[in-house]
Amino acid sequence: MVDTSRRLRPAGPPRPDFVLLGATAGLLVIGLAVMASIGEARDAMGREPRDILGRHLPRVVLGIIACYFGARIRVDTWRQLAKPFLFATLSLLAFTTLPRLGLGIDGVHVARNGAYRWIQIGPLSIMPGEFFKAAFVLWLAHFLSLPDTKCATIRGSLHPLVICGAGLLLLALQPSISTAVGVACTTGAMLYVAGGPVPRVRTVLCVALLVAGALVFASGPRRADAAPPERVEVAESPGHTPAGTPRIWTYLKDRLGGYVPIWRWEPRRLCYHSRQSLIALGFGGLAGQGLGNGRHSYGRLPESHTDYPLAAIGEELGWIGTTAVVLAWILILIRGMRIARNAPDLYRFMLAAGLTLNLVLFAVVNAAVVTAMVPVTGQGMPFISYGGGGMLMNFFSIGVLDAINRSTA
């Protein structure tokens, strides 16, 4: 007689993906260690922001809470909230562009490094671009899973492309070019996964490359011994934009024009960030200089806590540290796409694939900037860089992926 007791035994509660959560925790631990090192260096020099680890820890705690709620709330709930969330984030993006029209509000519109990407509400600083990334993935997964959506035709892909174009335009007006590029890449990847028109996507990419090449050529890169480029002083007051060359055009010219000389001419003036990043990676060697012993954290590597933590990791933890970061991201990509492949329906499949690609693509963009493969941008490394909104949304994405995984079990 066949024993069916084991077969009829009720299954236990679905288990989370420990590999995905472990890789995320590994990135978080490395990020906390390098934030402590950079914070100690800034405290020693008296540079702002000081006590980076003390400011970073509350953001991490909020991110973990967001991960918990993302994992516990039913996945279908996010489908119902996708449209309101997208509309709210687009409205916030439009609100950040008001200073370009001379309608900025003192104390609310915050300008940092010539960009209006933040909204200040008392002690709280909000970066709408980070929320838009997650909101657009939630909405696009919902749209692509509708039964009457035909993404194989250009007409079926027109709706998400229009929404994406509106978001990219608002991001470019801040300007936040790195976020715009990342959102565009995520959109193209999700359309491809959904069966989008690949030949037309190739045409769009070719046109984009031609436009980028024209911008680089028009930016007029100068030799190292040439006179320094004339700089346009930009007022930080949100109430007006100075006359003359538009700030966004100057911003693009500085970024794109400053990238070309790093391979051909001495980059002391235009490519300081990229140059110092490569030097920091080179100083690290195999095992690094040790935590707290990185010389570039002491003022030589600008924005080491936001844009260049990977360079600080390379200098202090060496090739071993950077390889650990790369392997963690490979694990997140593999496990995220495995969750998408095993999803019980099309919506969960598109949502898991979109969230995974969104995280990985922005990590790739940051790594490409640190290694000087692309022009300098203001994109941080997820789970490692100092920041609030990005940390919140990245952990939320991991939580939703875990929820999809447990709904599959």
Residuewise pLDDT in 10s, the chain (409 residues): 434 444 444 444 567 788 999 999 999 999 898 888 887 776 666 665 667 788 888 889 999 999 999 999 898 899 899 999 999 999 988 888 888 777 777 777 777 766 778 887 777 778 888 899 999 999 999 888 887 666 555 555 677 778 888 888 888 787 777 788 888 888 888 888 877 655 555 555 554 444 444 444 443 333 333 333 333 333 343 433 443 334 554 555 555 555 544 445 454 544 667 778 888 888 888 887 888 777 766 566 777 777 888 888 988 888 999 999 999 999 999 999 999 999 888 899 999 999 999 999 989 988 888 887 777 777 788 999 887 788 899 999 999 999 999 887 5
d(C-alpha 350, C-alpha 193), whole Å: 8
- Number of CB atoms found within 10 A of residue 403's CB: 25
Show the beta-strand stretches assigned E in 18-114.
109-112
Kindly list the domain boundaries of the chain, sorted by start residue: 17-222+242-408
Q: Which helix (H) or strand (E) holds 118?
A: strand 115-121
Q: What is the pTM (predicted TM-score) of this model?
A: 0.79
Describe the crossing of helices 346-370 and 177-193 by its angle, rounded to 10 degrees: 140
CB count, 10 Å around CB of 406? 17
Q: Which long-range contacts (CB under 8 A, 24 or more apart) does 94-99 make?
A: 94/170, 95/119, 95/128, 96/128, 96/170, 96/173, 96/174, 97/170, 97/173, 97/174, 98/238, 99/238, 99/239, 99/240, 99/241
Burial of 123 by CB count in 10 Å (0-12 exposed, 13-18 middle, 19+ buried)? exposed
Instruction: Please give the Cα distance from 138 to 347 (Å, whole number).
Output: 10
Q: Which of 311, 362, 356, 365 is nearest to 337 (CA)?
A: 356
**What type of residue is 37?**
S
